[in-house]
Amino acid sequence: MKITHIIGIIVIVVAIAVIVSTTKDVSTYVTFKEAADMAASGKSTKVHVVGSLKKDATGNILEMSYQPEIDPNHFTFKLIDRDNKETIVVYDNPKPQDFERSEQVVVIGHMQNNEFIAEKILMKCPSKYQETEIKGTEKAGSQASL
């Protein structure tokens, strides 16, 4: 057997290992129900859930809680997934700065006791990259409180 063949075989083995490990370690985009089923069946893999925030008619986020003076690393909010199922998401980190402005949110983590424990939050703020409305310049005049 020529040495190039041995190397060739090693390369193929490594390449297969790469692909297998990728398919093993990849996460999936699921709904909360699927995430709960996965957690219930004992699978500990992290999943992605795409959802939108619960907002009222004027755009204020509902059922969001962050009390930094009690615990700066505890933030919870409600997310509505593709199936319109609402679930509480717990994020043990400070509240992300742009959170209020985001429309679509991707949370990465796992379900635990009917709550989704997020390790990472990806936010899509449409306005971050693209302006959606036109505003005139607001001039901040000097204010004297008389």
Residues that bind another protein (CB under 8 A): 2-4, 7, 11, 14-15, 18-19, 21-22, 25-30, 45-48, 50, 68-74, 90, 92-95, 97-98, 100-101, 104, 106, 108-109, 117, 119-120, 122-125, 127-131, 133-137, 139-146
User: Half-sphere exposure (CA, 13 Å, Cβ side) for 142?
Assistant: 1
- Which amino acid would we find at residue 63? E
User: 3-state class of 103 per DSSP?
Assistant: coil
> In this complex, which beta carbon is closest to another protein, that of residue 7 or of residue 86?
7
> What are 121's strand-pairing partners?
107
Enumerate long-range contacts of 85-88, CB under 8 Å, 24 or more apart. Answer: 85/31, 85/32, 85/33, 86/54, 87/32, 87/114, 87/115, 87/116, 88/63, 88/114, 88/115, 88/116
- The CB-of-55 to another protein minimum distance in angstroms stands at 15
To another protein, the closest distance from the beta carbon of 16 in angstroms equals 11
Closest CB to another protein among 14 and 62?
Answer: 14
Task: State the minimum distance, in angstroms, from the CB of residue 13 to another protein.
Answer: 10
CB of 50 to another protein, least distance (A): 6
